[in-house]
């Protein structure tokens, strides 16, 4: 049937359109919980390591002890920054956004993957793609960490095989062994960001995969989608709001809260868009927020920074009173990353490092029952016409 502008039902942004099945994640409407393979993500964040959650998303089940040990050995063996990737990153200007660095690094890693040069069609079997997924999972922290360090004029820090994923990520970024409170808060953020069904970047990856392109190409395009401010970057914007209000480590909680509330009241009166609030999927508040907020509270206590909590509470209270809109995951994550010492432009690359797990899980799922994704459009241009 020919679709015309007069007869077609247009769903801009594919709003409300169900395009396929997935067994990877969903939001349970009865509990408002995000489920990874059936498990509420808040339970996973409380009881599991990020490595265990990655295994769950890729394989469908949490790992047995011997499976986890084998996965950890595999991941720790390929953490070092590829010297060719380092040279490419060094050639990129520090004026480029760190997301450009992530996108470029993913592409270079794909071009250098020996499986991409396999004459048997660049092996995209599940076994090969699992190996590629583990390699990207292990490699991206070195890219993100080194990029922040080079922008500060600091040298590369080599990975440590005696540390877990999260502790090693922090080690490579800051060159000091992190405190347990910091490791745990960072790990919680990685678990919460790892997967979220058919979001814009994941769907982008599935579209590319549906053409039978390779895993690295799909991840590279997903990073490009996440760079867009309507999808990624909200955690950066949250911290930029805090900085616009002004952060004074000597300020009390109540004083910071009053200033933040006044700022938000004024911003809303001017109809200014404030990032970190509301979500297209969650209608009753983002179920991931309480878990990340608890991790932020632990960091505020550890670093003795009550003014951060004051800013947080003031903005949240003002938005709730005026609009009834609740925070999303980016709202507590931004100040948490700030307290850990990450630069604001690094926040979305941290999202990349986590979401690689979800993207690659979806890439493999797409290939299991693939159909080329090719939607229709309704033409609304000129009628047929001819040259004189």
Per annotation, catalytic residue among 123, 135, 147, 330: 330
Joined together, the tokens standing for residue 153 give 């004029």
- Any catalytic annotation for residue 386? no
List the one residue out of 290, 366, 374 whose CA is nearest residue 24: 366
- Any catalytic annotation for residue 330? yes
Per annotation, catalytic residue among 231, 255, 297, 320: 231
Per annotation, catalytic residue among 55, 253, 279, 338: 279
List the one residue out of 355, 151, 342, 142 whose CA is nearest residue 236: 342
- Any catalytic annotation for residue 82? no
**Residues tagged active-site:** 231, 279, 330
């Amino acid at each position: 049937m020919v679709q015309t502008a007069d007869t077609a039902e247009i769903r801009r942004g594919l709003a409300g359109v169900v395009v396929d099945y997935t067994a990877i994640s969903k939001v349970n409407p009865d509990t408002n919980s995000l489920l990874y393979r059936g498990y509420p993500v808040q339970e996973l964040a409380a009881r599991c390591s990020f490595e265990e959650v990655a295994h769950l998303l890729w394989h469908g089940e949490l790992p047995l002890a011997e499976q986890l040990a084998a996965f950890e050995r595999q991941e720790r063996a390929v953490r070092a920054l590829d010297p060719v990737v380092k040279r490419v990153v060094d050639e990129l200007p520090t004026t480029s956004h760190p997301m450009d660095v992530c996108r470029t690094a993913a592409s270079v890693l794909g071009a250098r993957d020996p499986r991409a040069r396999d004459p048997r069609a660049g092996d995209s079997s599940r076994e090969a793609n699992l190996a590629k997924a583990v390699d990207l999972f292990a490699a991206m922290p070195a890219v993100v960490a080194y990029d922040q360090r080079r922008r500060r004029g600091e040298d590369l820090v080599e990975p440590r095989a005696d540390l877990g994923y999260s502790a090693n990520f922090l080690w490579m970024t800051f060159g000091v062994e992190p405190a347990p409170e910091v490791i745990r808060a960072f790990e919680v953020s990685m678990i919460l960001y790892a997967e979220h069904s058919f979001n814009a970047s994941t769907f982008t990856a599935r579209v590319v995969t549906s053409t039978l392109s390779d895993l690295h190409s799909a991840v590279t395009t997903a990073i490009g989608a996440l760079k867009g401010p309507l999808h990624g970057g909200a955690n950066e914007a949250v911290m930029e709001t805090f900085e616009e209000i002004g952060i004074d480590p000597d300020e009390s909680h109540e004083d910071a809260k009053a200033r933040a509330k006044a700022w938000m009241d004024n911003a809303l009166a001017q109809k200014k868009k404030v990032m970190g609030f509301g979500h297209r999927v969650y209608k009753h508040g983002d179920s991931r927020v309480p878990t990340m907020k608890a991790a932020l509270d632990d960091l505020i206590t550890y670093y003795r920074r009550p003014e951060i909590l004051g800013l947080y509470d003031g903005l949240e209270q003002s938005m709730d009173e005026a609009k009834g809109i609740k925070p999303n995951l980016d709202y507590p994550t931004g100040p948490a990353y700030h307290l850990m010492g990450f630069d604001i432009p690094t926040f979305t690359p941290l999202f990349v490092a986590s979401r690689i797990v979800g993207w690659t899980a979806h890439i493999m799922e797409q290939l299991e029952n693939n159909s080329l994704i090719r939607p229709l459009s309704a033409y609304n241009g000129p009628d047929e016409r001819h040259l004189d």
